[in-house]
Structure formats: structure tokens, C-alpha cells
Amino acid sequence: MRNDRRDFLAKMAAGMALGIVAPSSVWAVGEKRGEKAKSKYPKLKCDVAVVGAGPGGVPAAIAAARQGAKVILLEEDNMPGGAPVDMYVPFICGSPRVGVFREMIQELNAHHTIGGKPCSTFGKTGSDGKNHWWMPSSFAEVVYNMIDKEPNFTLMCGAPVVGVSVKADGNRNRVTGVRIMRNGEYQDIEAAVTIDATGNGLVADLAGCEYMYGSEAKSDYNEPVGIEVADGKVQPCTWMLISERIKRNAVLPIDKLKGSSAVEDNLNRWVTAPDKEDMIRRDAGIYLHWGKTVYCKDTRDPLLLAQAQMEALDKLRENLAIWHEAGYAVHLAPKIGVREVRRIKGEYVLTANDLIQGVMPDDKIANAHYSFDVWGMKIPEEMKHIGPYGIPYRCLVPLNTEGLLTAGRIVSATRVAHSSLRVQPICSNIGMAAGTAAAMSALQKTGLRSIDIKDLQGRLIRMGLFEGIK
């Protein structure tokens, strides 16, 4: 399923008929004719506005600030962190672990390990072949501390974006900022460059960008893996949880839990029923679980996501009773884990072929290495595991749009390619590149398509973004 510029223009035409057009720009959510949005909050101006304080947004904002840009980071939740904090996805997949992401997990290892002692095998690269996860609150604390060290940086939480300022600019739309809801009032944020790091692509959608949703057919991009006929479905959602022993000598009933995977920190394998005796000996007492997985008819719709979460809870009830009876408390993530929403179509669409062939494009802005991981789609084992590949800058630049970059899992890619790049280290690397490019554009007063790619790559090299993969 795609949303394109024509759809956006049709929406805007309808909006003009209703009078929801500001004098110099179009707002996705605006005032009715003859009415003005009165707010006690003044307009804020910055060089770079980053929407979404998650695995892509936090590194984007920090990178932009370190380049000298004045940054505002907007988050709809009441604390930053994104998926590790609100969806309980603190388990790390993929590589390379470089830049801001490496700083973060090294800090987590140094001061926030589950067992209380840093892992000696963690290494300078933040990878030792073992499973590692940390408490969601630890992620939030580390993110807060990293943000606090940056000058010219404003974090605004509890600030959902409800509109995007869009101006006509030749053959393209130009995004000039966003509108947030703050304490029941509008507040406008004006920015030279806006970065959509929402994880769901909402800002780009409001700006009228074309996007992809659900599975394409293999023939659409001549990919060797996928499905024969496009079905518009996205990957299923999983409700993550943490179980913690609260009764003395309680043992995790891993042999009784149905369909719930478990992970111990600093273990090189997953905990399964046959592993019970070793599990008792290790006596971790706290475990990360993939709770229950369900399909959501439309992950763009918060009502349907709430219904999916209720369905997941129904499936969890039997296991919850087992945990409680065994003497374990269960901490359910505040939000169900969403793997896939919109993918914003850019100047280039990354495909499975690019990943299989290990293409390192001339405009590479991030390295990536992770297997195809499309939940709900069968991929032959011999094709599932792939080598390193590069993310093109063109995948961050939405078609027909200026003043806007994408970061994290919403960049331009097919569904199969997206299943590899959607993990946190890769999202972070993309975010750092987006923040650096945004700062260059804002401070040099040049378009996002006109920045010097070699200069951008040089900055990323000096920031260590191209380490870890040869």
C-alpha cells in the first residue's frame, strides 16, 4: 500500500475548502476559517527539530548538537528512550555498535548490568557473542545523562506532534517545522531541518510524503525473496515483558510457560525448557521474555494497536497465572512492540538484492549487518543470513520534499530489506548520519540534496561511524 503526493494534494484541496490553510503554509492540523489558534506558548526556533526520542532520534539529535546546531528533540512519551524503554526491547541485535549507540551500551555495561558487575568480555566494540539486556529504566537514565551533556539542546517530552508546516517550494514541498500539543495548547516549532525519527513515519505522512506499507510482491523490486502477490500486511506485534523473582527460592517455570521465550543477561544462548537445571544453577532470578505475538490490522491506527494489545493480554493470561503461582512478578511493557509501520519512500529504495550483494553505495552514510528477520514470512535459511551492507543517504531523503530527513526504521526500503535494518544499532547509525546531515544543511544554509556527501562521510568517519565492518 502506498500513499503518494497526489493523495496529499487531494487532502490539502479538501482542507482548503474547509479553510484549514494558514497564510504562508499548510498545516496538517490547523485552524478553521476565521479562527486562530491562541496559545500561551511562543513559537520556538531551532536549526534542527528531531521528532522521536528513540533509537534513531536520540543519536540524530546528539549528532546534530555536536555539529554545532541548535536542536530541539520532541518525544510524545513522558521520557526519552523509545523501544527499549516503552516497549521493553532492551535486547540488542545487529551491528556495528558504533558512535552514540556504543557510548550508550558501554555506559549500560559499566553501571547498569543486571548482575551488578560489568561484563569483562563486553569489549570495546560492545559485542562479545553473548546476549545482553538492561532494565528499561537504565536505558532512560543513560539517555537523560547523555542529553544533559549537550549544549544548545532542548528535550521536550509529553509533546506529540499534531501538525507539520509545509510550504510549496517549486516542484517540492518544504517542511519548515512542526506543531506540538503542549498541556492542551498548540506550540509551533520552526526548524531549518526536521528529522522524522518517530518509528511510524507520522511526520513524513503529515507532510505529504509517499510511503510504503506492508509487503510488496517479489516482482515489484525484482527481489529473490518475499511473496508472490502483495498483501499489505506488516510484521506482527509482540508484547514484551520482564519476569522477576519475588519469593525466596522461586524457580522460573520455563517448562510450564507456553510459547514464551526467555533471555538471561550475559548468556550466549536462550533459556529453554531443556536448560532448566543449568538455569537453576545460574540463579539469575530475572528474565526478559517475548510475551505473545499478534497481528494488528493497521499499525498506523492507535485504536487497532490497543485492540492488538488486548488480544495479546488474553493470550498471556494463562502464563501470567503460572508466573504468579511460581513466585514471580511480571512487568509488562507499557506499549506492545511494533516492528513495522510506514516506510517513507526516498530518492532510493533499498532492496533485498542490495543486502544480499553487500552493496556499499557511493553515498553510504551507515554500515549495517543483520540477517533478514521478517516475522510472518518464510525466507530460505541459505538466503536469510547476509553479510555487511551500506545505507545510502538517498534513503533518508523523501521524494518531492525538502527540509525533512528520515531516521531509524522508517527509511526508504522494501519490507524484506527493512527487516534487517530495523534493529537498534543500525537505526542509531542512520540517526547519527541524519543528524549530521541536518546540521550541515541548517548551518550552511543549503538544501539537503546539495550538501557535500564526501564532507558528510568524512565527518561520520571522524565520529567512528564506519568502524566495525571492513
User: Which pLDDT value is given to residue 169?
Assistant: 81
User: Which pLDDT value is given to residue 260?
Assistant: 78
From 169, 195, 232, 163, select the one nearest 11 (Cα to Cα). 163
Residue 105: other Cβ atoms inside 10 A? 25
Please, what are the averages of pLDDT over each run of 10 residues along the chain (470 residues)?
A: 50 38 44 57 97 98 98 97 97 96 97 93 89 96 97 96 93 95 96 98 97 95 93 95 96 91 91 92 95 96 97 97 97 98 98 97 98 92 93 98 98 97 98 98 97 98 88
Q: Cell numbers for 441, please give them.
A: 544543511
Q: Tell if the pTM clears 0.85, that is, is over it.
A: yes
User: Which pLDDT value is given to residue 23?
Assistant: 33
User: Which pLDDT value is given to residue 256?
Assistant: 94
Q: By three-state DSSP, how is residue 410 classified?
A: helix
User: Which pLDDT value is given to residue 171?
Assistant: 86
**For residue 139, what are the CA distances in angstroms to 71, 103, 227, 265?**
21, 12, 37, 15
Radius of gyration of the chain (CA): 22
User: Which pLDDT value is given to residue 7?
Assistant: 55
Q: In order of start, what are the domains of the chain with their CATH numbers?
A: 1-229+343-470 (3.50.50.60), 237-332 (no CATH)
- At 378, phi and psi to the nearest 5? -85, 125
User: Which pLDDT value is given to residue 175?
Assistant: 98
What angle (nearest 5°) sits at the alpha carbon of residue 449, between those of residues 452 and 48?
Answer: 90
Peptide bond into 274 cis (omega under 30): no
C-alpha span between 4 and 2 (Å, rounded): 6
Q: Cell numbers for 3, please give them.
A: 500513499
CB 386 within 8 A of CB 403: no
From 8, 157, 169, 175, select the one nearest 72 (Cα to Cα). 157
CB 407 within 8 A of CB 377: no
User: Which pLDDT value is given to residue 218?
Assistant: 93
